[in-house]
C-alpha cells in the first residue's frame, strides 16, 4: 500500500504538477481520480471539501501548491538550500500569477466577451509574465536551461504543465521566448518524465 | 550593513508578513519603504517591476510569499519538518484564496458595483474561508491556539496581518470564530511582536 495517495478529478489542472513530481522522482503513488458524479459522495472526506488532497502517513493535506512543494522537498526537486528553494518558489508564484488571470477568462460564459478577454490576455498580460519568467530563468539559472541552479526543479515541471494548457488555447504564445521554449524541451527530454508524458491520460486542462 | 534588505511601499499590504517575521525573530534588517512617487522613480530598476523584493547577500528575490517562506525558514518559523511546513503552506494558501476574493472588491471603481461585491464578499466568501481556516486550525493545531503544531509559525502572522485589514472594515467578522479570535490574541501577546506592533507605522491596508 502506497504511503502517498493523491486525490483529484480525472484532469491535469491542479494535480498534474504533483503527478509530474512523482514521475520525475520515479516514486509510486496511488493516483485516485474522481469523475464528476463520484466526487459528490467523497467531498465530505476531504478537509476543506476540495481537491487535490494528498494523504501521507495518515495526514490529509489540501492546497495544490503546498502539496507539490512538500513532494518536491521529499524527492530533492525543490532546491538545494533555503535560498534556492525561495528562488524556485518565486518562479512558481510568477507562473501562478499568469494562471490566475487566465482561469476566470476560460470560465467566461459569454462567448464574445471570452474571445475579447483571451485576445487581451495573449497580447498584453501573458507576455509581461513570460518576460518576467525569462528574467528569473536568466538570473537564477546559473547559465543552464532550467529555472534555478542548473538542475531540474518543480519550477520547470510547473512551467511545463501550465504552458501545456496555454498552448492549447494559443499554440503561438511561446514563439518569441526562445529560452522558455528550450526549458520545456529539456523537461520533455528527462527520461522518467518522457515516459510518463507518453503514457498518462490526455486532457486539455 | 544588513544582509537582509526589504523593499516595499509604506503600508502593510504584501510586505507586512515579512516585517512581522523579522520582528518575531528579533532580526535586524533594512526596511525600505517607498511612497507612491518614489516608487515611480524606482519601478524600472527593481526586479520584475514589482514589490516586495528581498535583497539577501546582494541577490534579489521577488514574490511576497516566496520571500516570507524563506525568511520563516531562516528563523525557524516555517514548521519543524517537511510535513509541518506543508501544513503551514496550506494554511497560508487558504488565507491567500480569501485575499484573492477581496482584491476585485478593492479594484472596483464603480461605487454601486463595489458595494455589491463587498456584500458578496462578507456574506459568502468570508464565512466559507473562515470555516475552512477553523477546520485547519483544529486538524493541524495539535490542540493549541496556533495554526500548526502548537507553536508560532508564519501562518499565524499571515492570518494576523490580513485580518487586521478585514477587521478594519468589519470589526465583528470574527465573532463567530472564537478559535480564530484567540489565535490573533496569541500572536499579539508574543513579546517581540507586541513591541513591534506598538512602534510600527500605522496604515489601514
State the ipTM, two decimals.
0.96
- CATH number of residue A94's parent domain: 1.20.1050.10
Same domain for A184 and A90: yes
pLDDT per residue as tens digits for the range A66-121 = 999 999 999 999 999 999 999 999 999 999 999 999 999 999 999 999 999 999 99
Q: Total structural domains in chain A? A: 2
* Residues A72 and A110 reside in one and the same domain: no
| Residue in the block written with cell 522613480 | B41
In a domain, A41, yes or no: yes
The pLDDT of residue B1:
57
Longest distance between any two alpha carbons in chain A, whole Å: 50
Cross-chain Cβ contact B89/A69 below 8 Å = yes
User: Which structural domain range is residue A51 located in?
Assistant: 4-76
The mean pLDDT value for A41-60 works out to 96
Angle between helices B82-107 and B126-140 in degrees, nearest 10:
170
Q: Judge whether residue B2 has pLDDT over 90.
A: no
Residue A200 falls inside a structural domain? no
Read off the CATH number of the domain in which A68 is found: 3.40.30.10
Shared domain check, A25 and A9:
yes
* Rounded-to-integer distance, Cα B69 and Cα B82, Å: 13
My answer on whether A90 and A131 are in the same domain is: yes
Q: Taking 80 as the threshold, does the pLDDT of residue B54 lie above it?
A: yes
Domain boundary among A76, A102, A133: A76
Confidence at residue A2, expressed as pLDDT on a 0 to 100 scale: 67
| Residue of A48, A51, A130 to mutate when probing chain B, most B C-beta within 10 A | A48
Domain architecture of chain B: domains with CATH = 4-76+192-199 (3.40.30.10), 82-189 (1.20.1050.10)
Q: Is residue A108 located within the same domain as residue A143?
A: yes
Nearest to A169 by CA among A110, A120, A97: A120
The verdict on a CB contact (< 8 Å) between B67 and A86 is yes
Q: How far apart are CA B92 and CA A42, in angstroms?
A: 25
Within-domain flag for A194: no
In this structure, chain B runs to a length of: 205
By Cβ distance, the residue of B63, B135, B139 closest to A93 is B63
Could you tell me if B61 lies within 8 Å of chain A, comparing CB atoms? yes
pLDDT tens digit sequence for B70-116: 999 999 999 999 999 999 999 999 999 999 999 999 999 999 999 99
Cβ–Cβ gap A82/B94 under 8 Å = no
The answer to whether residue A195 is domain-embedded is no
Least confident span in A27-31, B42-46, B61-65: B42-46
Does the residue A60 lie in any domain?
yes
The answer to whether residue A196 is domain-embedded is no
Q: Does A199 fall in a domain?
A: no
Contact status of A3 with chain B (Cβ, < 8 Å): no
Amino acid at each position: 500500500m502506497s504511503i502517498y495517495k493523491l486525490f483529484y478529478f480525472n484532469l491535469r489542472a491542479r494535480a498534474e504538477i504533483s503527478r509530474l513530481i512523482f514521475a520525475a522522482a520515479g516514486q509510486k503513488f496511488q493516483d485516485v481520480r474522481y469523475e464528476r458524479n463520484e466526487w459528490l459522495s467523497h467531498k465530505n472526506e476531504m478537509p476543506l471539501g476540495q481537491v487535490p488532497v494528498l494523504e501521507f502517513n495518515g495526514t490529509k493535506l489540501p492546497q495544490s501548491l503546498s502539496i507539490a512543494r512538500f513532494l518536491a522537498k521529499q524527492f530533492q526537486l525543490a532546491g538545494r538550500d533555503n535560498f534556492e528553494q525561495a528562488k524556485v518558489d518565486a518562479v512558481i508564484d510568477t507562473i501562478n500569477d499568469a494562471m490566475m488571470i487566465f482561469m476566470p477568462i476560460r470560465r467566461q460564459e459569454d462567448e464574445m466577451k471570452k474571445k475579447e478577454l483571451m485576445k487581451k490576455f495573449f497580447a498584453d498580460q501573458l507576455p509581461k509574465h513570460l518576460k518576467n519568467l525569462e528574467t528569473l530563468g536568466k538570473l537564477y539559472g546559473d547559465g543552464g536551461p532550467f529555472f534555478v541552479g542548473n538542475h531540474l526543479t518543480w519550477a520547470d515541471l510547473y512551467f511545463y504543465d501550465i504552458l501545456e494548457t496555454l498552448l492549447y488555447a494559443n499554440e503561438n504564445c511561446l514563439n518569441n521566448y526562445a529560452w522558455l521554449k528550450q526549458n520545456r524541451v529539456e523537461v520533455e527530454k528527462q527520461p522518467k518524465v518522457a515516459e510518463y508524458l507518453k503514457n498518462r491520460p490526455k486532457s486539455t486542462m | 550593513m544588513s544582509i537582509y534588505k526589504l523593499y516595499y511601499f509604506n503600508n502593510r499590504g504584501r510586505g507586512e508578513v515579512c516585517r512581522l517575521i523579522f520582528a518575531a525573530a528579533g532580526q535586524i534588517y533594512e526596511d525600505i519603504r517607498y511612497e507612491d512617487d518614489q516608487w515611480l522613480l524606482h519601478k524600472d530598476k527593481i526586479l520584475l517591476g514589482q514589490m516586495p523584493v528581498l535583497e539577501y547577500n546582494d541577490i534579489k528575490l521577488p514574490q511576497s510569499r516566496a520571500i516570507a517562506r524563506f525568511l520563516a525558514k531562516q528563523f525557524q518559523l516555517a514548521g519543524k519538518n517537511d510535513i509541518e511546513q506543508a501544513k503551514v503552506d496550506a494554511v497560508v494558501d487558504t488565507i491567500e484564496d480569501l485575499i484573492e476574493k477581496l482584491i476585485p472588491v478593492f479594484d472596483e471603481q464603480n461605487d454601486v458595483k463595489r458595494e455589491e461585491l463587498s456584500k458578496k464578499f462578507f456574506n459568502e466568501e468570508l464565512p466559507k474561508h473562515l470555516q475552512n481556516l477553523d477546520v485547519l486550525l483544529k486538524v493541524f493545531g495539535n490542540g493549541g491556539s496556533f495554526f500548526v503544531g502548537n507553536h508560532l509559525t508564519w501562518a499565524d502572522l499571515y492570518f494576523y496581518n490580513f485580518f487586521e485589514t478585514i477587521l478594519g472594515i468589519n470589526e465583528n467578522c470574527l465573532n463567530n470564530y472564537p478559535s480564530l479570535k484567540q489565535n490573533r490574541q496569541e500572536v499579539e501577546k508574543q513579546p517581540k511582536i507586541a513591541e513591534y506592533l506598538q512602534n510600527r507605522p500605522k496604515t489601514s491596508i
